[in-house]
């Protein structure tokens, strides 16, 4: 006996139903990542953009050219290509650096105290000096075990965890449940992410003291995906424990 196509689709839908929430989570994370890339640019990204797109003699890749055309098409293509300060941040080409520098300095300070007081390692918090512009600009964001030489970490705005907070916000925003309970959970989840971020920076700082070559593995691979894993666990906890039938009227 042949199974009708509509019955097959219903059967497939029934099998995929338990994974509907996971698919939704992945979709929201991808949307958050893309919208973040479109909205924000940093000094480092602008420098790369300048070298790959706006320089006449540049050998740009196909992807880089497409990215440049998309950026210009939505009105964010004219970024500040002269600004090479890694702390520089533009939101749709509007300079919002001053909004994030204090947050960056507080993140560096929190990690400084964790390494010194909790781990009892003599870490120094130094001024990072940017001299790419006409005048030197200082910010207290440099973590170093040696004031004169040796490995050091410069805490920039991307180290604050603000992007992860934005992703968590969208994930909880599009989850089920009463709005004010979702808002309270987002605040609690944000605190968890910020604490994890300070722990992340502290651990990386401790490791580079003896193993400076481990920075890229820890920063770009291990803790990057642990961050996203933590967001997933927070979402899963919300869906399984706090957004049940009692929360829905």
Sign of CA dihedral 223, 151, 206, 114: negative
- What does the pLDDT read at residue 26? 93
10-residue averages of pLDDT along the chain (249 residues): 58 65 91 88 57 42 58 52 66 83 93 92 84 64 79 87 95 91 96 97 92 88 94 94 58
- What does the pLDDT read at residue 138? 75
- What does the pLDDT read at residue 30? 93
- What does the pLDDT read at residue 167? 96
Q: How many residues does the chain have?
A: 249
Q: Is the pTM of this model over 0.75?
A: yes
Question: Which positions ≥6 away from 212 have C-beta within 8 Å?
Answer: 151
Best CA proximity match to 32, nearest among 184, 228, 199, 182: 228
- What does the pLDDT read at residue 234? 96
Q: How far apart are CA 148 and CA 230, in angstroms?
A: 37
- What does the pLDDT read at residue 60? 47
- What does the pLDDT read at residue 134? 52
Where do the structural domains in the chain lie, given as residue ranges?
A: 40-95, 96-249
**Burial grade of 158 (CB within 10 A; 0-12, 13-18, 19 or more):** middle
Question: Which positions ≥6 away from 96 have C-beta within 8 Å?
Answer: 89, 90
- What does the pLDDT read at residue 211? 86
């Amino acid at each position: 006996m042949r199974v009708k196509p509509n019955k097959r689709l219903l059967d497939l839908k029934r099998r995929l139903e338990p994974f509907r929430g996971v698919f939704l989570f992945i979709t929201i994370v991808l949307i958050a990542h893309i919208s973040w890339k479109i909205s924000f640019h940093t000094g480092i990204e602008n420098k790369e953009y300048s070298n790959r797109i706006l320089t006449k003699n540049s050998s740009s890749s196909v992807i880089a050219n497409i990215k440049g055309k998309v950026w210009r098409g939505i009105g964010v293509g004219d970024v500040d290509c002269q600004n090479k300060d890694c702390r520089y941040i533009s939101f749709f080409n509007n300079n919002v650096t001053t909004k994030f520098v204090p947050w960056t300095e507080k993140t560096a300070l929190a990690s400084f105290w964790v390494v010194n007081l909790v781990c009892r390692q003599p870490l120094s918090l130094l001024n990072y000096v940017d001299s790419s512009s006409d005048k030197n600009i200082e910010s207290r964001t440099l973590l170093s075990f040696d004031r004169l030489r040796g490995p050091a970490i410069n805490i920039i705005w991307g180290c604050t965890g603000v992007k992860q907070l934005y992703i968590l916000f969208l994930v909880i925003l599009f989850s089920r449940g009463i709005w004010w309970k979702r808002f309270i959970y987002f605040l609690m989840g944000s605190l968890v992410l910020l604490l994890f971020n300070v722990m992340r920076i502290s651990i990386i700082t401790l490791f580079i003291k003896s193993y400076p070559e481990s920075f890229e593995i820890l920063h770009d691979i291990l803790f990057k995906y642990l961050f996203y894993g933590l967001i997933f666990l927070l979402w899963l906890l919300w869906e399984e424990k706090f957004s049940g039938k009692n929360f829905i009227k």
